[in-house]
Amino acid sequence: MEDLIQGGYVLTADPQRVDFTRVHRWLAEESYWAVGRSHDLVARSIDGSLPYSIFAGAEQVGFARAVTDGATFAWICDVFIDGTHRGRGLGKWLIDSILADLSERGVQRFLLATRDAQEVYRRSGFAELEGAHRFMEIDRRPTGNPILGRA
């Protein structure tokens, strides 16, 4: 994906530009789904994914990653926009750009999970999972509760 520019922001899929320290802080300290995630775990998760970053100048202000086989399926996760840059449409731009990039590669099925941003993702075409009862999981995370709100 070529770098995209919108309203003074740059969106890139260049993994070399990811500010691992900043992304780790967002996920481990500010997100509800990855609280306490170690720096090593964040780094390995990014290394095993396609990372997308938004920058304002040299400062990273947004992030998401796609876990994908590059052909049939992608799970979009760890979507985060820095609090001082929210409300500017950056999250929608980020998601729409990821969908466009992966669609160009031929990916046709996308999945994500959210506890409270359904309306945000609906604007990009997401809907509740049809046949959710068919999906199964093993969840060995220490918290095991962030996305679905389990106690």
Q: Tokens for 9?
A: 């922001």
Is 145 part of any domain? Answer: no
Domain with 10 in it = 4-134
Q: Which amino acid is at 122?
A: R
pTM for the structure as a whole: 0.91
Is 149 part of any domain? Answer: no
Given a cut of 80, whether residue 146 has pLDDT beyond it is no
pLDDT band at 137 (very low <50, low <70, confident <90, very high): confident
Number of domains composing the chain: 1
pLDDT at position 138, please?
Answer: 86
Is 139 part of any domain? Answer: no
Distance CA 143, CA 25 (A): 18
pLDDT at position 145, please?
Answer: 56
Contact 50, 65 (CB under 8 A): yes
Is 105 part of any domain? Answer: yes
pLDDT at position 151, please?
Answer: 43
pLDDT at position 61, please?
Answer: 98
Q: What is the CATH number of the domain that holds 111?
A: 3.40.630.30
Average pLDDT, the chain: 93
| Strand 50-56, strand 9-12: pairing | antiparallel
Is 147 part of any domain? Answer: no
Nearest C-alpha neighbor of 122 from the set 146, 98, 96, 103? 96
pLDDT in tens, 73-115: 999 999 999 999 999 999 999 999 999 999 999 999 999 999 9
CB hemisphere CA count around 90 (13 angstroms): 27
pLDDT in tens, 4-56: 999 999 999 999 999 999 999 999 999 988 999 999 999 999 999 999 999 99
Is 117 part of any domain? Answer: yes
Residue 116, C-beta contacts closer than 8 angstroms, at least 6 positions apart? none
pLDDT at position 147, please?
Answer: 56
Residues facing residue 58 across a β-bridge: none
Is 143 part of any domain? Answer: no
Is 87 part of any domain? Answer: yes
Given a cut of 50, whether residue 143 has pLDDT beyond it is yes
Residue 119, C-beta contacts closer than 8 angstroms, at least 6 positions apart? none
CB hemisphere CA count around 22 (13 angstroms): 17
